Structure 1
Amino acid sequence: MVGSKKGLTFRYVIAFALLIVMVFPYLYMVMNSFADWTQVDKKVVPTEFTIRSYEWLFSGGEAGIARPWLKAFLNSVIVSTASTALMMVTGAMVAFALAKMNFRGRDFINNAVLFQMFFPAIILLIPTFLIIQNAGLYDTYTAMILPKAMSLWAVFMYTNFFRAIPDTFIEAAKLDGASNFQILYKIVMPMSKSITTVVFLFLFMERWTELLWDMIVVRSDSMLTLNVLLSQMFGPYGGYPGPMYAASVLLTVPIIILFLFFSKQFKEGMQFTLK
């Protein structure tokens, strides 16, 4: 009995130590974003705190030029939300066809999806930009949203989950006269809330942190996303670590809020993906 208690205590200690190791980098970032500039990256745990780094950001940085923070934040929300919604809709539709519909070439398309997932996205960067430019979409929301409207990873995740749904539900709905579209969005998707949460969080996080593509297709200040705006500020001011930590904190706040809000469904979805 004593041995089992010692073993349990040991496991708790190890788990707590691993938790500290994983969480500490973020805590370090938060602490240094509020730390006095004389202590940033000088101490593991700063002892003097200030909001100077955040004031530096919102006052326009070294140049003191007012930056369109609110507009950039709204642009990031619009682009990330629209792109994520399109990726989820197209991913679910393609996955339903691959998982629950029989048609010629289905296995070939499924294998093609898996094959394309191994392609580095940067290979298609220049061709995609030329298409956007020739279509007259440069420096628009469409230029930032449309090329990100499809996610092969979302197709892969949804396909695996849909295959686990019993075909009896699909057959019963067809007997009642339901179309494939109605079956997908009235029967299959309500049964897929857990995996949908996982897909949503990962896709939104990926799009929210996108920088390279937005830098290429955005020119005017009114179309800047938050990532692009921050990159412009820190280009000539890389010697300001405090504000850089503050900017990193600002970028992570929406992701943390979403994760806390959908934590229960996220855990359920991750349990399926790890089976």
Structure 2
Amino acid sequence: MVIPYLYLLLQSLAPWDQVDKTFFPTGLTLKSYQWLWTGGGYEAQPWLSALFNSVFVSAVDSFCMVAIGAIVGYGLSIMEFRGKKFINGFILFQMFYPGIILLVPTFLVIRFLGLYNSVWAMIIPRMVGLWAIFMYTGFFRSINMEVIEAARLDGASELSIIFRIMLPISRSITSVIFLFVFMDRWTELMWDLIVVKDPAHQTLNVLLSTMFGPYGSYPGPLYSAGVLLTFPILALFIIFSRNFVKGVQFVLR
């Protein structure tokens, strides 16, 4: 598992005349990264802007999925209301539905709202994560109701209970949810490729896909862009590794 990542890193640092010709280059250079930094001489390929778009879109969607997942999961697990079983069943049913089926209807809605070719076209459809709701619902059901009742007696609102009590308690499962939804959003390609054509709004994944066309003669920058695409996921895993392991243990129980 380590070898492909090592190859990716070494090729991104290799002199251009040695890329894909040897596993271990005779020297290391930052030329490929400099090529991305300066735009490669192509104003229509804003690599740094694409990296920022990827970070912004993934971060906003991930935080929204966690916040909305926690609120909805709390309501479905703790509160009692009419139609609760139907909503739980519908969410479970939707999780088994191929997302590709809703691709065209979602695109038509985005175009009708006038959001086509904008950053929000990539953000809004992914702000709610059914998997996050499902995970929070299961976790919150395992929490002792006495904690919640005590908070209510102290005058805490339901939103205050969610964000000041339930989320701190669920740090481990939140780490798992955030990491997975961020990774899923970070690696999204098809939807972003469909709804955004303006290079100024494209994500790094979309921009990378164009390098196989007229920019296919620059394999070194392709590898360096791959390193940039991999680094945030690796950094997040290192930061949340302790809570991630605890969260996975809960999921497997």
User: TM-score by structure 1 length?
Assistant: 0.83
Pairwise mapping of residues 88-107 of structure 1 onto structure 2 (< 5 A)?
88-107=66-85
* Aligned 1:43-122 pairs, distance under 5 A: 43-61=22-40, 64-66=41-43, 67-122=45-100
- Quick check: 1:28–1:44 contact (8 Å CA) kept in 2? yes
Describe the SS at the equivalent of 2:97: coil
Alignment counterpart, residue 140 of structure 2, candidates 153, 162, 177? 162
SS in 1 for 2:156: coil
Which moved further from structure 2: 50-59 or 29-38? 50-59
Tell me the amino acid that sits aligned with residue 33 of structure 1.
Answer: S
Q: Kindly state the Cα deviation for residue 39 of structure 1 after the two structures are TM-superposed.
A: 3.8
Matches within 5 A, 1:109-148: 109-148=87-126
Moved more, 177-186 or 77-86: 177-186
Letter in 1 for 2:48: L
Identity of aligned pairs, percent? 57
Larger radius of gyration: 1
Kindly indicate whether the alpha-carbon contact (under 8 Å) linking 2:39 and 2:47 is maintained by their aligned counterparts in 1.
no
Instruction: Give the corresponding residue for 2:9.
Output: 30
Residue 230 (structure 1) aligned to one of 202, 208, 214: 208
Q: Deviations over 1:109-128 (max 9, x none)?
A: 21221111111211111111
User: Is residue 139 of structure 2 the alignment partner of residue 172 of structure 1?
Assistant: no
Give the conservation status (yes or no) of the 8 Å contact 1:39–1:48.
Answer: no
Q: Classify the secondary structure of the residue corresponding to 2:211.
A: helix
Secondary structure of the corresponding residue to residue 114 of structure 1: helix
CA deviation profile, 1:201-238 (whole Å, cap 9, x unmatched): 11112112212211211122321222222222333333
Amino acid at match of 1:124: L
Query: In 1, distance between residues paired with 2:4 and 2:204?
Result: 22
The structural deviation recorded for 1:198 is 1.2
Structure 1 unaligned spans of 5+? 1-21
| Separation (CA, whole Å) in 2 of partners of 1:52 and 1:205 | 28
Q: Distance in 1 between matches of 2:190 and 2:132?
A: 21
Rate the CA distance shift 1:241–1:74 in 2: closer, same or farther, 3 A: closer
Where does residue 175 of structure 2 map in the other structure? 197
Q: Is the 8 A contact 1:117 1:153 kept in 2?
A: yes
- Between 1:221-230 and 1:247-256, the stretch displaced more is 221-230
**Aligned-partner SS, 2:170:** helix
Q: Structure 2 regions of 5+ residues with no counterpart?
A: none
